[in-house]
């Protein structure tokens, strides 16, 4: 049987795709959650910075023609963080530095209440800064106060670390869940395929009924073509079976008719040379009807063996019955057939096939055994039902013994005997169909011994 070439595994591919997809989604989820959290946290810090800078600007006033900023306590206290973040500020008047940290530069438009955010570097530390301005109107002048307020980001980065850890946990959890779902989905999908495979393989080789189980939509075309394939197979099998039965009938009947005419003519012919010719003719007819018979028997057995029709039989009776029918032929060669065995060997098998097999064995014993000798047929139930045929002839050619059951194979000792090389093949096929086998050996005295065993 040809095995299909296997290219990868569907289960593996499907599982890998799903789990790979889950991993990509988990990573995306991690980054999405983290960047959203960064935004929210930054927004929080910015809002406080704005509130603080606004309260500072509120405290700015012009007194005695000079700008005075009396920084309220609340402006700094609202910036307090658990990480004790440091706060820096710089105050400018119309762009001129008044007080605070010189490192902080004012970013933004010269006027207006717009708050401009940015990052700056104060003494090697990254700070978030907001720039805001306010226009003050004094007795005789307009002046603009600008304040830059900055804060380190220690608390913020601690929060972000915390959020990153949680986002990572979320990603891992998501991945684990999605992977478990992928495994489940793969198993559920492949389960459908497995079920179909099991129901195909569980069938016997002769079971050609269509599949009726419901299958998923995607598998329906496959099952449909499988069904139509089996329907065609079933049809051609039964056609061949009919053909064989028909052929057997059409070949045997006219041959029998010709033979009986030839026999009748033989009685009426007086001249010895004509009689000789008639005898050769009868012999040739016998040969061809035998060969045709065995060919058709073999074909018939191939079919019957596929769907064995078992019935309860007694093997001893079956053999006795057969021997009775073969006795006239045996007597022509002065052969005696003896049946020994247990009183009764009950067996459930196909009687027609079993008789055919034993007939071929006895036939061989009569053909290859010497005239005026004894053929022993033994039928026993133990250790398992078997039928043994022993003759007193020269036995099987020992170097060929392993190949004699092959189809059309005849031994060297068969040169002058009629035959088609199918007898032992038929016996072997029948034994196989009944769960048994056939064994060829030679007895110590040299005769052939064939054992046809059946399953118990
Ligand atoms: N009883 C026997 N004694 C010796 N040789 C045998 C015997 N039975 C079978 N053989 C050998 O086995 C071969 C195959 O037997 P078989 O399949 O019955 O074919 P056929 O009898 O048509 O030649 C025979 O040709 C013969 O050589
Ligand atoms: Mg034979």
Query: Which amino acid residue places its CA nearest to atom 1 of ligand 1?
Result: 365
Residue 74 placed within a domain: yes
> CA-to-CA distance for 386 and 94, rounded, in angstroms?
122
Beta carbon of 396 within 6 Å of any ligand 1 atom: yes
Beta carbon of 423 within 6 Å of any ligand 1 atom: yes
Share above pLDDT 90 across residues of the chain, in percent, rounded to a whole number: 43
Instruction: Decide which of 307, 337, 362 is a domain's last residue.
Output: 307
Q: Which ligand 1 atom sits closest to the C-alpha of 425?
A: 17
Q: Are residues 288 and 332 in the same domain?
A: no
Q: At what angle do helices 423-433 and 272-306 cross, to 10 degrees?
A: 20
Instruction: Tell me how many degrees the CA angle 98-104-108 measures, rounded to the nearest 5.
Output: 90
Contact between 322 and 352 (Cβ < 8 Å): no
Residue 295 placed within a domain: yes
Residue 186 placed within a domain: no
Residue 108 pLDDT grade (very low, low, confident, very high; cuts 50, 70, 90): low
Q: Which of 173, 155, 128, 159 is nearest to 37 (CA)?
A: 159
CA distance readout (Å), 258 to 122, 255, 316, 444: 125, 5, 36, 44
Residue 178 placed within a domain: no
Residues 6+ apart with CB under 8 A from 152: 85, 86, 125, 126, 127
Share above pLDDT 70 across residues of the chain, in percent, rounded to a whole number: 98
Query: Which amino acid residue places its CA nearest to atom 27 of ligand 1?
Result: 411
Q: Using only the alpha carbons of the chain, give its radius of gyration.
A: 52
> CA-to-CA distance for 289 and 45, rounded, in angstroms?
109
| pLDDT at residue 110, as a whole number | 52
Q: Are residues 144 and 283 in the same domain?
A: no
> CA-to-CA distance for 397 and 316, rounded, in angstroms?
30
Three-state DSSP state, 192: helix
Residue 172 placed within a domain: no
What is the average pLDDT across 308-334? 91
- For residue 119, give the CATH number of its domain: 3.30.450
Residue 1 placed within a domain: no
Residue 174 pLDDT grade (very low, low, confident, very high; cuts 50, 70, 90): very high
* Whether pLDDT at 307 is above 80: no
Q: Are residues 300 and 333 in the same domain?
A: no
Residue 181 pLDDT grade (very low, low, confident, very high; cuts 50, 70, 90): very high
Instruction: Decide which of 126, 142, 161 is a domain's last residue.
Output: 161
Beta carbon of 442 within 6 Å of any ligand 1 atom: no
CA distance readout (Å), 321 to 282, 310, 325, 341, 399: 27, 18, 7, 14, 35
Q: Which of 446, 450, 449 is nearest to 393 (CA)?
A: 446
Residue 292 pLDDT grade (very low, low, confident, very high; cuts 50, 70, 90): confident
Q: Are residues 376 and 336 in the same domain?
A: yes
Q: Are residues 410 and 343 in the same domain?
A: yes
Greater model confidence, 186 or 107: 186
Q: Are residues 328 and 272 in the same domain?
A: no
Q: Which ligand 1 atom sits closest to the C-alpha of 391?
A: 1
Residue 192 placed within a domain: no
Instruction: Decide which of 243, 275, 307 is a domain's last residue.
Output: 307
Q: Are residues 314 and 407 in the same domain?
A: yes
Query: Which amino acid residue places its CA nearest to atom 9 of ligand 1?
Result: 364
Q: Are residues 116 and 246 in the same domain?
A: no
What is the average pLDDT across 260-273? 89
Beta carbon of 288 within 6 Å of any ligand 1 atom: no
Q: Are residues 367 and 254 in the same domain?
A: no
Residue 168 placed within a domain: no
Q: Are residues 298 and 324 in the same domain?
A: no
> CA-to-CA distance for 128 and 115, rounded, in angstroms?
13
CA distance readout (Å), 74 to 70, 87, 91, 373: 12, 13, 17, 132
- For residue 278, give the CATH number of its domain: 1.10.287
66-105 pLDDT tens trace: 888 888 898 888 998 888 899 999 999 888 898 888 888 7
Q: Please write down the long-range contacts of 55-61, taking CB distance under 8 Å and 24 or more positions apart.
A: 56/89, 56/147, 56/149, 57/132, 57/133, 57/134, 57/145, 57/147, 60/134, 60/136, 60/145, 60/147, 61/136
> CA-to-CA distance for 237 and 229, rounded, in angstroms?
12
Q: Are residues 319 and 453 in the same domain?
A: yes
φ, ψ (nearest 5 deg) of residue 204: -75, 160
- For residue 425, give the CATH number of its domain: 3.30.565.10
Q: Are residues 286 and 213 in the same domain?
A: yes
| pLDDT at residue 387, as a whole number | 96
Beta carbon of 413 within 6 Å of any ligand 1 atom: yes
> CA-to-CA distance for 109 and 25, rounded, in angstroms?
43
Is this model's pTM higher than 0.85 or not?
Answer: no
Q: Distance from the CA of 424 to the center of ligand 2, in angstroms?
A: 6
Range of the domain at 358: 309-456
> CA-to-CA distance for 436 and 384, rounded, in angstroms?
9
* Whether pLDDT at 453 is above 80: yes
Q: Which ligand 1 atom sits closest to the C-alpha of 405?
A: 17
Q: Which ligand 1 atom sits closest to the C-alpha of 409?
A: 14
Domain count, the chain: 3
13-37 pLDDT tens trace: 999 999 999 999 999 999 999 899 8
């Amino acid at each position: 049987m040809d095995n299909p070439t296997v290219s990868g595994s569907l289960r593996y591919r499907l599982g890998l795709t799903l789990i790979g997809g889950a991993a990509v989604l988990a990573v995306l989820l991690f980054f999405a959650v983290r960047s959203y959290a960064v935004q929210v946290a930054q927004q929080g810090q910015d809002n406080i910075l704005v509130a603080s800078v606004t309260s500072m600007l509120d405290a700015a006033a012009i007194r005695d023609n000079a700008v005075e900023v009396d920084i309220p306590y609340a402006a700094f206290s609202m910036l307090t963080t658990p990480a004790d973040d440091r706060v820096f500020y710089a105050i400018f008047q119309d762009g001129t530095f008044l007080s605070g940290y010189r490192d902080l530069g004012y970013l933004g438009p010269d006027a207006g209440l717009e708050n401009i955010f940015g990052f700056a570097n104060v003494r090697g530390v990254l700070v978030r800064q907001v720039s805001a301005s306010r226009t003050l109107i004094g007795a005789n002048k307009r002046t603009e106060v600008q304040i830059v307020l900055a804060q380190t980001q220690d608390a913020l980065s601690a929060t972000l670390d915390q959020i990153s850890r949680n986002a990572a946990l979320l990603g891992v959890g998501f991945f684990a869940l999605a992977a478990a779902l992928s495994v489940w989905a793969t198993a559920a999908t492949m389960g459908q395929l497995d079920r179909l495979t099991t129901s195909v393989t569980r069938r016997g080789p002769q079971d050609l009924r269509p599949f009726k189980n419901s299958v998923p939509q995607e598998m329906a075309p496959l099952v449909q073509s499988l069904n139509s394939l089996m329907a065609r197979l079933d049809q051609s099998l039964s056609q061949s079976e009919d053909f064989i039965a028909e052929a057997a009938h059409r070949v045997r009947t006219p041959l029998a008719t010709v033979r009986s005419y030839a026999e009748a003519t033989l009685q009426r012919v007086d001249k010895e040379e004509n009689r000789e010719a008639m005898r050769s003719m009868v012999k040739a007819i016998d040969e061809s009807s035998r060969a045709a018979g065995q060919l058709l028997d073999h074909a018939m057995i191939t079919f019957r063996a596929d769907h064995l029709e078992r019935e309860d039989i007694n093997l001893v009776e079956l053999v006795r019955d057969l021997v009775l029918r073969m006795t006239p032929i045996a007597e022509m060669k002065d052969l005696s057939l003896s049946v020994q065995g247990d009183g009764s060997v009950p067996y459930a098998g196909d009687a027609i096939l079993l008789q055919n097999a034993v007939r071929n064995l006895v036939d061989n014993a009569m053909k290859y055994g010497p005239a005026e000798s004894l053929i022993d047929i033994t039928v026993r139930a133990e250790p398992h039902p078997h039928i043994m045929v022993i003759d007193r002839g020269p036995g099987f050619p020992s170097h060929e013994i392993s190949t004699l059951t092959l189809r059309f194979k005849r031994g060297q000792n068969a040169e002058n005997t009629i035959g088609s090389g199918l007898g032992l093949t038929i016996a072997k096929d029948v034994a196989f169909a009944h769960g048994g086998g056939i064994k060829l050996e030679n007895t110590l005295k040299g005769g052939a011994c064939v054992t046809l065993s059946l399953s118990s």
